[in-house]
Amino acid sequence: MVSDNLKTFFKDLTSKRILIIGDVMIDAYMWGKVDRISPEAPVPVVTCTKQDNRLGGAANVAINIAAMGANPILCGIIGNDDKGTLFLKLMQDNHLSNAGICIVKGRKTTIKTRIIGGNQHLLRIDDETTQPLEGAEIVNFSQHLFDLINELKVDAIIFQDYDKGLLTPALINEVIHFANKKDIPVLVDPKKRNFHAYHGATLFKPNFKEFCEGLKVELSKENLQDVYTVAKDFLNSHNIKILLLTMSEKGVMICTTENFHHIPAHVRDIADVSGAGDTVISVATLGIACNLDLKEVAEVSNLSGGLVCEKVGVVPVDKAQLEREVRKYLH
């Protein structure tokens, strides 16, 4: 039987409002067929049959939050360029408010273009600026951000970091300090540049590779006790309550300074891992906001990440499908 907590979780998501702060971007796709190798170089020739533009980065987290039935507030920056205009149109198409989006003149709107032949991801092209936001730009964004938080009742805050320059240590520290005073949970999907900047956060969700690289340690997924020893030291030194470690084929591991749970992966036909981390942090945040116990947070997050890996491209979780999987596996 599914626990009462999980039943309530799926019913009550519509009341939750989640603030997402992070690097937003466009995920562009060129789909096509490959039937020959180029005579100019040993590379496949892709005959393009379809092009598609989707919201990506922190915006994909907002889409996942909305797909689960909750209310996302996306806060990020775009440029005053054609791609920025396209980004705002995509937000409108996805019924997302642009109240948290700031336009920075002269800055590129990030776009990642993926070339896909059949179901094979062949190449990605990134067009972006990663220079950290500074001066009046960061002051204006910070003020806008805190105005939003003060106006709205927020159930949780997500930092979705893609190392594109929006999140600075000073901004991170200000938000966490403010959220902790208001008892708002703060969850983090980190990248390398600010890995050690999230002192005082509620939950920290790196993948296994990011965790090892961030701490400059060599660990084996086979030795969970060693992983937990390092995880516990990290939590203590950074004053973080929970570590949710995604381990790809080994599932997920959720840790506090008192204990840990390891949730194995379910057998899947993996098509594309793009965006799985966005889905995991989204579902984990909603689990924390709905007061699921930590093992349930890990279990539901693990299922959600696996489901989106079965689909090509960056796609949000299907709430109805996830609910069916919860009834199937969590009994």
Sequence-ordered list of residues with C-beta below 8 angstroms from that of 99, at least 6 positions apart, any chain: 73, 148
Q: Token digits for 78?
A: 């775009």
Q: Please report the pLDDT score of residue 121 as a whole number.
A: 86
Active-site residue set: 278
pTM for the model: 0.92
- 277 — pLDDT class (breaks 50, 70, 90): confident
Residue ranges in the chain assigned as alpha helix (H): 4-11, 58-67, 82-93, 135-151, 169-181, 208-215, 224-238, 276-289, 294-308, 319-329
- Residue spans of the domains in the chain: they are 4-34+42-329
Sheet of strand 120-127: strand arrangement: 44-57, 24-37, 111-117, 120-127
Sequence-ordered list of residues with C-beta below 8 angstroms from that of 280, at least 6 positions apart, any chain: 205, 244, 246, 252, 301, 302, 304, 305
Find out whether 75 and 158 touch, Cβ atoms under 8 Å.
no
Q: Please report the pLDDT score of residue 327 as a whole number.
A: 85
Average confidence (pLDDT) over 93-117: 95
Residue 194 Cα distances to 45, 171, 202, 241, angstroms: 39, 11, 16, 18
Q: Give the model confidence (pLDDT) of 18-68 as tens digits.
A: 999 999 999 999 999 999 999 999 999 999 999 999 999 999 999 999 999
- 317 — pLDDT class (breaks 50, 70, 90): confident
Q: Give the model confidence (pLDDT) of 176-188 as tens digits.
A: 999 999 999 999 9
What's the alpha-carbon Rg for the chain, to the nearest Å?
Answer: 20
Q: Please report the pLDDT score of residue 316 as a whole number.
A: 78
Topology at the third CATH level for domain 4-34+42-329: UDP-N-acetylmuramoyl-L-alanine:D-glutamate ligase (3.40.1190)
Kind plus residue range of the DSSP H or E element containing 313: none
3-state secondary structure of 135: helix
- 2 — pLDDT class (breaks 50, 70, 90): low
HSE toward the beta carbon, residue 50, CA cutoff 13 A? 7
Q: Please report the pLDDT score of residue 294 as a whole number.
A: 95
The percent of residues in the chain predicted with pLDDT above 70, rounded, is: 94
Top-confidence residue, 320 or 273: 320
Q: Give the model confidence (pLDDT) of 280-316 as tens digits.
A: 999 999 999 999 999 999 999 998 887 866 665 567 7
Find out whether 270 and 310 touch, Cβ atoms under 8 Å.
yes
Q: Give the model confidence (pLDDT) of 213-256 as tens digits.
A: 999 999 999 999 999 999 999 999 999 999 999 998 888 999 99
On the question of pLDDT at 257 being above 60, the answer is yes
Q: CB pairs under 8 A, 24+ apart, for 316-323?
A: 316/60, 316/63, 316/64, 316/66, 316/67, 316/279, 317/64, 317/67, 317/68, 317/279, 317/282, 317/283, 318/67, 319/10, 319/67, 319/68, 319/69, 322/68, 322/283, 323/10
Kind of pairing between the strands at 44-57 and 24-37: antiparallel
